[in-house]
A and B are shown apart, each in its own frame.
Chain A
Amino acid sequence: MLSQFEYIKPLVLDEALTFLAEHEQTYILAGGTDLIIMLNKNMIDAKYILDVKSIPDLDVFKFTEGEGLEIGANVTVNELVESDVVQSKYRALCEAASVLATEQLRNRATLVGNICNASPGADLPPSLLIYDATVKIASAKGERSVPLRTFFTGVKKTLLNKDELVVSVFLPDPGKQDNSIYLRQTRLRGHDLSTVGVACRLNGDGKVAIAINAVAITPLLLTDLSDQLNAKGLSEESILWASEEIKKHIKPITDVRASKEYRSHMAGILLKRCLGQLTGKEV
């Protein structure tokens, strides 16, 4: 590791925000499963590493009936997997969290870190997008909340300013009759990144939301597609239509994991499987 950083571990949020505002080349450390790889490979030159794990404000992990679930920046992926609320209310998120990387990494990696790293193939964003997640952001100047669908701006890029830190992600209470699913294609059954992953939600009003990863420069919430599908109504026919139509809404590339044609094809197959399982229709 070439970086000769100083290690800072503030105990209150304000202290962290002031430090961020006043020091360039500061990198935020939560789980470290992306950051420490970048440090090990000398991909970044860090002057300061700001460890946020001792800030109690970021430990929040609280569900309020009728409102929703707030997931703080220090909540690890395995804490999501083990949470009764996530299991019962946000099934797709539980499924995505349980296939993310390996047991060892899930014990360190955080949900907020997964979105801040902004990999187009990250497993968690589709399952957050279908629940209209919002991101709570803080800086020394104040707080703001943005919808997650506007948070990603490119490959490994977000709308976060350098002096800002994500405090938490908020998921509205989906209500009772809600169900969701996350399916992904990988090259092998064990530990692999998603070649393409689809999350679908069927809410209490029978409306569908669809999100997808690894087929564009950012994870995508496919609102046009789901609007059209909802207008048609859910049937075996419309599901088959959507699994073809989805190919017009994505821009996959060819890389080491798959060709763009395969990604496009699998996007359709996964969508069909997701909707089939959610509706109980045989497609």
Chain B
Amino acid sequence: MAQKAENKACAMTTAHAESMERRVRLTCRVNGQFVVEDIDPTMLLLHFLRDRLKLFGTKEACGEGECGACTVIMNGRPVTSCLVLAIEAEGSEITTVEGLAKNGELSILQQEFIELDALQCGFCTPGMLMSARALLDRNPDPTDDDIKEAMSGNLCRCTGYRQIFDAVKKAAKREREELKRS
């Protein structure tokens, strides 16, 4: 009973009470996993990831594409998941921050964020990581301006950006070295 009341409160605060009648089928891949879910067409991709798939790394802040906290990679490109309907992800390939670590080991990019103190409260970090990941995927050797431009859609209220910039730059260098070795 207590559990039920809690669920109800939760549904009301997330502001997308789902309708049972108008369900649509969504098929996509999230972090390499095949996903098939029946969803309400008004559901945002952000809420689908968080509420349905319980991938809480992707954060909700501004809800209008300004802050970048909800950034995920969709078909190779970074997008703000608060401005994408979940159903628009039909047939697509999504990567969230949970998809960065491999076999229980943090990615180079994540390691450098930790190493260089590129976070304080950490709320913007998943979005920062996804923008940086998308940048390095399409441009393994970015200029300083490339990094600034790619990261300019992500706001951080703690660090002042310097450490974030340095972490991306160092991660890019380490990734290139790793690639040469392999």
Nearest CB to that of A78 among chain B residues? B77
Q: Does B68 lie at the interface of the complex (its beta carbon under 8 Å from any beta carbon of A)? A: yes
> Whole-angstrom distance between the alpha carbons of A94 and B82 in the complex?
27
A104/B24 contact (C-beta < 8 A), A5-B42, A36-B85 known: no
Q: Does B83 lie at the interface of the complex (its beta carbon under 8 Å from any beta carbon of A)? A: yes
Q: Contact between A103 and B150 (Cβ–Cβ < 8 Å)?
A: yes
On chain B, the number of residues with a Cβ less than 8 Å from chain A's Cβ atoms is 31
Q: Contact between B42 and A1 (Cβ–Cβ < 8 Å)?
A: yes
Q: Does B15 lie at the interface of the complex (its beta carbon under 8 Å from any beta carbon of A)? A: yes
* Partner among A3, A7, A105 whose Cβ is within 8 Å of the Cβ of B87: A7
Q: Contact between B65 and A37 (Cβ–Cβ < 8 Å)?
A: yes
Q: Contact between A53 and B80 (Cβ–Cβ < 8 Å)?
A: no
Q: Contact between B79 and A108 (Cβ–Cβ < 8 Å)?
A: yes
Q: Does A4 lie at the interface of the complex (its beta carbon under 8 Å from any beta carbon of B)? A: yes
Name the distance in Å between A277's Cβ and chain B's nearest Cβ.
20
Q: Contact between B83 and A32 (Cβ–Cβ < 8 Å)?
A: yes
> Whole-angstrom distance between the alpha carbons of A3 and B85 in the complex?
13
Residues of A within 8 A of B84 (CB): 32, 36, 108
Residues of B within 8 A of A37 (CB): 64-65, 83
> Whole-angstrom distance between the alpha carbons of A6 and B150 in the complex?
35
* Partner among B15, B24, B88, B150 whose Cβ is within 8 Å of the Cβ of A1: B15
Q: Does B19 lie at the interface of the complex (its beta carbon under 8 Å from any beta carbon of A)? A: yes
Nearest CB to that of A99 among chain B residues? B149
Q: Contact between A107 and B78 (Cβ–Cβ < 8 Å)?
A: yes
Residues of B within 8 A of A4 (CB): 19, 22, 42
Q: Contact between A104 and B42 (Cβ–Cβ < 8 Å)?
A: no
Residues of B within 8 A of A190 (CB): 152
Nearest CB to that of A107 among chain B residues? B77
Name the distance in Å between A6's Cβ and chain B's nearest Cβ.
6
> Whole-angstrom distance between the alpha carbons of A57 and B79 in the complex?
24
Q: Contact between B24 and A7 (Cβ–Cβ < 8 Å)?
A: yes
Q: Contact between A6 and B15 (Cβ–Cβ < 8 Å)?
A: no
Q: Does A156 lie at the interface of the complex (its beta carbon under 8 Å from any beta carbon of B)? A: no
A104/B88 contact (C-beta < 8 A), A7-B24, A7-B41, A37-B83 known: no
Q: Contact between B64 and A32 (Cβ–Cβ < 8 Å)?
A: no
Restricting to A91-133, which residues have a CB under 8 Å from any CB of B? Answer: 101-105, 107-108
Restricting to A205-261, which residues have a CB under 8 Å from any CB of B? Answer: none
> Whole-angstrom distance between the alpha carbons of A101 and B79 in the complex?
12
Residues of B within 8 A of A103 (CB): 78, 131, 134, 149-150, 152-153
